Amino acid sequence: MRDTDRNSIASLRKGMDLLFLFVESSCLGIREIAQRLHVPVSTAYRFVRTLRHKGLLEQDPATRKYQLGLPWLALEAAVLRHLDVRRVALPHMEALARSCQETVQLTLHRGFQGVCIEVVESPEPLRVAPARGQSLPLHSGALVKVILAFLPKAEIDRYLAGGPLRRFTPNTITNPRHLRQELDRIRRRGYAVSTQEVYLGAAGVAAPVVESSGKVVASLGVSGPLHRLTVAKIAEIGPEVLRYAEKVSAELGPRS
């Protein structure tokens, strides 16, 4: 491979890394981008200038910071059209949301992450409603713990061997032995419960969505403020969440 080809591939990788920074932060300045990419400010500026030229980034004239450009909406729509699980799940999510009056989420399994791909928000003025595209590591909260629990043992072992688990709140389970015990409880019960594991003041309950081969591909869950999603309320809606997840699973064909 020629040096020019290597340089082009390295630049492409850095450009992709730059775009993925906006998964966690909606707006970033040049210095923030340079710091997170571990590159000089001048290099970060060159990347940003190229992405702006293509419309993939745009600059807020007030803050001078950068955010994702409008072409990403078209790309998002194209991706969502190919997500069969979303198409199948959405009517059931809407029905579950009407029933429990809380926010319902669909989270897709992607490697060692869960990615929120659809949300039906609660009608309540105070609600928990994560953004589409938000990702979380598989140990943090009901919607991703339930995916981890139903993965093959070898994948669970690989995840836990990957280094320290990120702590979001004092309630996040980061001890591998304690997490294994929690995963056992989830498998026995059929659904996962979390209380303030990702956000203080929030609770959740989720069940796995599996394709016909038995492989877990997503989770369906309910989240809301702690004063409404009490222990008693979660015990009441947990089996309902499981039933709706099973309906989605029953309609979901195998992936190619």
Q: Is the separation of the CB atoms in 151 and 186 below 8 Å?
A: no
Shared domain check, 31 and 150: no
Shared domain check, 150 and 95: yes
Kindly give the residue spans of alpha helices, DSSP state H, lying in 165-215.
Answer: 176-189
140-189 tens-digit pLDDT? 999 999 999 999 999 999 999 888 999 999 999 999 999 999 999 999 99
In-domain check, residue 13:
yes
Q: Among 207, 250, 219, 244, which Cα is nearest to 95's?
A: 244
Count of other CB atoms within 10 angstroms of residue 163: 7
Shared domain check, 247 and 162: yes
Q: Mean pLDDT in the chain?
A: 86
Shared domain check, 154 and 59: no
In-domain check, residue 107:
yes
Shared domain check, 93 and 159: yes
In-domain check, residue 256:
no
Output the pLDDT for position 131: 77
- pTM of the predicted model, to two decimals? 0.69
- Domain boundaries, position 199: 83-251
Apex CA 225: angle with CA 166 and CA 127, to 5°? 105
The packing angle between helices 30-37 and 41-53, to 10°, is: 110
